[in-house]
Amino acid sequence: MHELAHRVKNGFALVQAIAHQSFRKSDPGSYTTFAQRLTALAETHDLILSGEEKSTTVEAVLEAS
């Protein structure tokens, strides 16, 4: 499970790098918004995986993002 989590994080980093290259000159504001959303998604992923032995509440997910 930890290997899968690591690979997903690498995927998030790759998407963020591609977005940075695409948006940085043309629309930095859009990049900032996108990066914040991607960060929230990554943090939610971490939260869900951190509770491998127990469930995670919707409230906890919303508070993390």
Predicted confidence pLDDT, tens digits, the chain (65 residues) = 778 888 998 999 999 999 999 888 888 888 899 999 999 888 888 887 776 656 667 787 677 65
pLDDT value of position 65? 58
Exposure string of 10-39, with b = 16+ CB inside 10 Å and e = fewer, is eeeeeebeeeeeebeeeeeeebeebeeeee
**First vs last C-alpha separation in the chain:** 22
3-state secondary structure of 47: helix
Question: Domain spans of the chain?
Answer: 30-65
